[in-house]
Amino acid sequence: MLQTRPGHRYARLMSVGGYRGSRVVDNAEMCTMIDSSDEWIRQRTGIVERRWATDDETPLSMSVAAARKAIERAGLVPDQISAIIVSTVSHFKQTPSLACEVAAELGCPAPAAFDISAACAGFSYGVGLAEGMIRSGSSDYVLVIGVEVLSRLTDFDDRSTAFLFSDGAGAVVVGPSDVPGIGPTVWGSDPKATKVIEIGDWKQLTTAGETPYIHMDGRTVFLWATTFIADKTKEALALAGLAPDELDVFIPHQANNRITDSMLRHLKLPESVVVSRDIVHMGNSSAASVPLGMEALLESGEATSGQTALIIGFGAGLVFSGQVVTLP
């Protein structure tokens, strides 16, 4: 009979760290690039300003900055990281993975390292994977990073998407725990909806020298998020054995404040639940949006370590993923 490793009983988020692109682009500046208005953007999405990377801020530099914070806040050193999972759709290289480059930059000796492509759901996919890796015994401390530079994939001839996206990185360290710190992951995809959000063919980069831009059917995403995803959010809460009034914090993917409002109505969460509205000053940073929202709530004191938070991501694929976590 084959021998297997004894795993850890439970896993938890030990820390979170973030990095935001340093260029602040408000709606007034955005409206010099597209035919729109501050009022329209605020009313349709809640966005007041967004953060973009400058030329010297890259997926690698932002990932490393977020990861250093998370590792230090976990009380660890890079040597102790046994696996790195990076979720991104904006790493402009097929190989090596961004996770391998992050490992090299951080000086981690030999971690398992790989990227995943699950767009705006990627962070929660990574947390689900990390939890399984720790409980199976294949890793002790897993660094999960969500990072994007969507401003470099934005088509400024498309006014229905250009104002949404932003650049940043969020990282958590997931480690062993004596008590459950990560609830069951609800995840899946909709294979009928592969064309709803797409980033064009990378061949464009080499053949035509053009950037492959994000194309999105915003209305379809909106409808899907406010119906199907709202139900999946309820499922994640129920699987963790929590009633809505036992939840402290709700951190949905920061896609649109109106989507968040609709989910809140659907979930019937009590007023006491703290809700992430990080999109207002950040825009939609895809895989980075949930950890950045988490860090912001913890830093402002609106949320505190030990509280229960429901996180949910949804986006291109279409894919979704969510779970209840204990805040680090």
Ligand X SMILES: CC(C)(COP(=O)(O)OP(=O)(O)OC[C@H]1O[C@@H](n2cnc3c(N)ncnc32)[C@H](O)[C@@H]1OP(=O)(O)O)[C@@H](O)C(=O)NCCC(=O)NCCS
What does the binding site for ligand X look like in residue numbers (CB under 6 A)? 34, 36, 40, 44-45, 120, 159-160, 163, 197, 216, 218-219, 221-222, 255-256, 284, 314-315
Q: Closer to ligand X at the Cβ: 220 or 307?
A: 220
Give the position of tokens 């830093």: 299
Q: Which of 108, 120, 256, 257 is catalytic?
A: 120
Rounded alpha-carbon distances, angstroms, from residue 224 to 21, 49, 149, 227: 29, 25, 25, 5
Q: Which of 8, 253, 256, 257 is catalytic?
A: 253
Least distance CB 46 / ligand X (angstroms) = 10
**What is the nearest approach in angstroms of ligand X to the Cβ of residue 319?**
10
Least spacing, CB of residue 44 vs ligand X, in Å: 4
Per the annotation, the verdict on 31 as an active-site residue is: no
User: Of 122 and 328, which has the nearer Cβ to ligand X?
Assistant: 122
- Measured CA to CA, the distance from residue 180 to residue 201 in angstroms comes to 41
- Strand extents, DSSP E, the chain: 10-20, 23-26, 49-52, 83-87, 112-116, 142-149, 167-177, 186-189, 197-199, 214-216, 249-252, 274-275, 308-315, 319-326
Three-state SS at 212: coil
Is 256 part of the annotated catalytic residue set?
no
Rounded to a whole number of angstroms, the minimum distance from the CB of residue 224 to ligand X is 9
- The question of whether 91 is a catalytic residue gets the answer no
Please, which residue, 61 or 160, has the CB nearer to ligand X?
160
Cα 210 to its chain centre, rounded Å, is 27
Which residue, 105 or 158, has its beta carbon nearer to ligand X?
A: 158
Task: Find the residue with minimal CB distance to ligand X.
Answer: 218
In whole angstroms, what is the distance from residue 35 CA to residue 42 CA? 14
Q: Would you name the residues annotated as active-site residues?
A: 120, 253, 284
